[in-house]
Structure 1
Amino acid sequence: MLRRRALLQTVALGTMTSLLGRSTMDVQLIKPGDAAYRDAKLGYFTQYDGQRPSAIARVTTPADVQRCIEMARQGKQRITARCGGHSYPGYSTADGALVVDVRGLNRIDVRQDGTVEVGAGVLLMDLYIALANAGRMMPAGTCATVGISGLTLGGGIGVTARQFGLTSDRLVSARIVTPDGVHRTVSAAEHSDLFWALRGGGGGNFGIVTSFVFRTEPARNLTTFTLTFPSASLPALLSAWPDWQGKAPEAMTSTVGVGNGSNPYVEVSGCYVGAPAGSKPLLDDLVRRVGSQPTSRRETEQSFLAAMERFAWCRVSDGSCRPSWNGGGGSQSRGSYVATSRMLTKPITDPQKLAEIFKSTPNSYNMIDALGGAVARGQGAFPHRTALASIQVELTLQAGEANARRAMGVARDELAKMFGATGYINYLDPQMPDWAGTYYGSSLTRLREVARKYDADRVFAFPQGLV
């Protein structure tokens, strides 16, 4: 079986090489055996280092992407795009796949009309720097090395989401090479069905995006905060937080963070769009509702860029926001954990039970990220508009990946009993039961119709894909 797979990969590589040979474009194709292959194939997660893509194509133009899709179609080769490489199941570095590395599509153009054109290979911190330099900001994630593509296509939950919406809610248009090799512009006026699907329908399903245009906001100062609570106050916090957050102004977006064990670390952190004078009475109210004084409390007014550095735990000035792998040139470290998710769809009626799920999940850190506000008014395929928050459970691999996934499954299934079978597509869990309905909800039928329309030949098929 292994010999047959190796033979098929050799045939596919031969097809790809011959196609590239006929091309006038310079697509850099890195293959097994090449000196650069070992580093070029790496994604963010270390547990997938053993995966062996058939080749990595480093593209710099949309025409390069078109050539790669032609290669995949003619060679009947699995194809996947990679930007930041943060795919939780490792799909962007999959065994036997042609990995289209879009990091060369890294142009950022902040326009006078308040929009920004962003290449599909741009990493979040690079986008934040460019926006800050132009006096602009937009909602996105907190990890410096996440790629704009995967984040946007799955929705994009961030620390200013309640004020400004999901990242996908800011999308004006996109350029995408669809599986037929056509480079299309999609917007509300052009290919509106595909434009709808790209706003929350998940990466890898409809082709390879080459650029995005987003609406931005004038940059303003943000108040970042962290309140650390005693472990014993966790049930009271879980009981009080949903109502407090739901009634707070949209300028307030917060996250509950909970460790594991009998005396877990417990905090509320987040961001208020404005000065501490606005956030302080809101946080005072949360403390009153919880009934316990925080063991520590920090509120700091910061610029947009400084706040993004704070949430990413890095500094632009010393290179620590840049990836240390794949020639990233920085010192940002890679990750070794697995994760799953559910959506908080209703008030927490049994906070003690939820606290026990978090506490009893070994080697875990658990996060409840607020939604609502502008998120609830957004458009596109993101299906969880009415959710109060997302719940993410992350487990380190201290006890081995298999044990981590078993423990993760227990937590995931217990959360489903409390809040239903829902989940966030950007936190893909390869073992998620009924994953299609869980991740796509009421958008699933329409998403599959769009996927079949643009990818009738299943060029972009993968284990949790729509075609």
Structure 2
Amino acid sequence: MTIDRRRFLAALGAGGAVLVAGAQRAAALDRAGPGTGAGGPSAVDAWPARARSGAVLPPDWQALRTRLDGRLLLPADQGYGEARLGYNELNDGQFPAAVARCTSPSDVRACLDVARGHGIPIAARSGGHSYLGYSVPAGGLVMDLRPMARVRVRPDGTAVVGAGARLIEVYAALAQAGRLLPAGSCPTVGIGGLALGGGIGVLARKYGLTCDRLAAAQVVTADSSLLEASPDSEPDLYWALRGGGGGNFGVVCEFTFRTEPAPGLTVFSLGFPAGSATAVVGAWQQWIAGTPFEMWTTCQLSGGDPPSCRIVGCYVGAESEANQLLDQLFAAAGVQPSTRSVLPKNYLDAMKYMAGCANDTIAQCHLVSEGGVLPRSSFVAVSRMLGPTALDAGRVTDLMAGRTGVDLLLDSLGGAVSQLAPDATAFPHRSSLASAQVYASATAAGQAAVTESVDAVRDGLAELGATGAYVNYIDATLPDWGRAYYGANLDRLQSVSRRYDPDAVFAFPQSVTCG
């Protein structure tokens, strides 16, 4: 059995029964990179005209197959039907022209050499969790980086991570070396999309975003050059890769991250009684802004009559300290939780807990079937970024009234995230109190109605002052999406894009070059 992030958090809020019973695995979707579908353009015609202008002949796929030693799948090939799929089933109508399994930067360069200039979309895929499917472009070439998944921890504590590594693999390798990296909670999300868009996660308030830990990146640019981006080499590219979004500036094949020693952690889940959502959300916003950097929480509102509220979190420190801070929240809200679970964990066990696979092996946390295919989900999700001040909790709760099946997930920021200036990296939302993700399961038949409801919550949050958005929750119908994702950093990002991809080889409907 697999569960998505919304149901997983609901189970935690109900007292952790899912974990205790061993019903494993959350597909948390949290920090996936760009992706087409769900209400947005998905065909080749959606790509900017300059990205496909002058196309006369298709790429020489047989030549590429030869250069890749046969690791190229075309629609008629066995295995293509599975290899083409991303995580979100709503994007299953997208059929790439080819999927290349890349094992090295040389393979990526070969793909670009053959496909560049033929007017087709070209995209890299790390974990495949792209919300809208931009990493599996219709009629285009998918460079599947999954084979590049090695994780090495050096004696100095830096970690060299292949772009195709999934988070659970990164966590396991780091834990073995006694180190940690702040990142997301979904075990099968790829490190590539997560880090390039910023990397909001359960240790962010203590250790910063994933992109804040990036020391260097090995990048293949649109002209097939292999570059190292770091503070001392290609510094503008290095800046853009830290929050500028996946797929915009080149194909990152390898990341080098600065890590930290892994301390003991405390995880917790809290459920609150019916009718208390407004009080809890109001108190939570004030409380989280004043807690030590060691405290991270997500406050979840589930739509209904009335909406319900749950809080799940991770504290860097002892169980007793976490309980003292939680008691302060309850006192401020004037509400005691109806369910309360607070548990000490080591780093790896805490990450497995947050992933919903606490009772599984690392292999089981991969969620891979015998055929090598990830169980998938069908959903619509959008985002906003809260400002530095609290929103009107009553109006937030009102947005969720009657919206059964829709969840609003408020992931706390501040702390270490706020210690950098908005233009220090490409991620601009340094003063945000929290990110807001609006999420709902959806079928293809019911997608339009679900999208309308989810978008209404998103737009309602904007009216309350939450006007930014998170590029890793990429959104096909987001108004003024370039400024929402990147704020004042958009102009510099576009300049970097023009420098490293002047012919818009990597263009897609919401690429920086189109913003």
Please state which band the TM-score falls in when normalised by the shorter chain. over 0.9
Shift in Å, 1:327: 4.8
Measure the CA separation in 2 of the matches of 1:281 and 1:201.
Answer: 38
Partner residue of 1:295? 338
Of the structure 1 ranges 68-77 and 216-225, higher mean CA displacement relative to structure 2 is found in 68-77
Match of 2:440 in 1: 395
Partner of 2:23: none
Q: In the TM superposition, what is the alpha-carbon distance from 1:352 to its structure 2 partner? A: 1.0
Q: Is the 8 A contact 1:26 1:64 kept in 2?
A: no
1:363 aligns with 2:401: no
Report the TM-score, using the length of structure 1 for normalisation: 0.94
1:342 aligns to what?
384
Take 2:56 and 2:193, find their aligned partners in 1: how far apart are those partners? 30
Report Cα offsets for 1:153-179 as digits up to 9, x if no partner. 000000010000000000000000010
Q: CA deviation at 1:96?
A: 0.8
Distance apart, 1:180 and its partner CA = 1.1
Deviations 1:192-224 (A, max 9, x none): 000000000000100100000001111111100
CA distance in 2, matches of 1:338, 1:264: 19
Aligned residue in 2 for 1:372: 414
The 5 Å alignment of 1:67-466 reads 67-314=110-357, 315-317=359-361, 319-324=363-368, 327-328=371-372, 333-378=375-420, 379-397=424-442, 400-466=446-512
Q: Tell me, which stretches of 5 or more residues in structure 1 are unaligned?
A: none
Deviation, 1:16, is: 3.0
Q: Distance in 1 between matches of 2:133 and 2:369?
A: 15
Q: Any conservation in 2 of the 1:56–1:98 contact (CA below 8 Å)? A: yes
For residue 91 of structure 2, what is the amino acid of its counterpart? Y
Q: Which has the higher contact order (CA 8 A, sep 6+)?
A: 2
Pick one of 51, 60, 70 that aligns with 1:15: 60
Q: CA deviation at 1:51?
A: 1.2
Task: Measure the CA separation in 2 of the matches of 1:317 and 1:163.
Answer: 27
Q: Which residue of 1 aligns with 2:40?
A: none
CA contact (8 A) 2:165 2:191 kept: yes
Superposed CA deviations along residues 348-379 of structure 1, whole A, max 9, x for unmatched, are: 35211100112343421110000011101234
**Distance between the aligned counterparts of 1:382 and 1:420, measured in 2?**
16
- Residues 343, 419 of structure 1: 8 Å contact kept: no
Residue of structure 1 equivalent to 2:101? 58
Alpha-carbon contact 1:139-1:165 (below 8 Å) kept: yes
Measure how far apart 1:231 and its partner are.
2.5
3-state SS in 1 of match to 2:438:
strand
- Partners of 1:357 and 1:414 within 8 A in 2: yes
The letter for the 1-side match of 2:170 is: L
CA shift for structure 1 position 74: 3.7
Match of 1:46 among 69, 85, 89: 89
Distance 2:266 2:175 in 1: 16
TM-score (norm 2): 0.85
The answer to whether the Cα contact below 8 Å between 2:412 and 2:435 also exists between their aligned partners in 1 is yes
Alpha-carbon distance between aligned partners in 2 of 1:248 and 1:361, rounded to the nearest angstrom: 31
Q: Distance in 1 between matches of 2:482 and 2:162?
A: 29
Query: CA 1:252 to 1:72, structure 2 compared with 1: closer, same or farther past 3 Å?
Result: same
Distance (Å, rounded) in 2 between the aligned partners of 1:170 and 1:355: 35
- 1: CA distance, partners of 2:293 / 2:149: 32
What CA distance in whole angstroms lies between the structure 2 residues aligned with 1:325 and 1:48? Answer: 20
Give the superposition deviation at 1:27: 5.6
CA contact (8 A) 1:261 1:359 kept: yes
Q: Are residue 35 (structure 1) and residue 78 (structure 2) matched? A: yes
Task: Return the letter of the residue paired with 1:148.
Answer: I
1:316 is displaced (CA, Å) by 4.3
Distance in 1, Cα, partners of 2:237 & 2:182: 22
Q: Structure 2: where are the runs of 5+ without partners?
A: 1-43, 46-52
The residue type paired with residue 264 of structure 2 is N
- Match of 1:451, SS state, is helix
The sequence identity of aligned pairs, in percent, is 45
Query: When you count helix as a share of all residues, which structure comes out higher?
Result: 1
Cα distance in 2 for partners of 1:63, 1:261 equals 52
Distance of 1:205 and 1:455 partners within structure 2: 8
1:39 and 1:326 in contact (8 A); partners too:
no
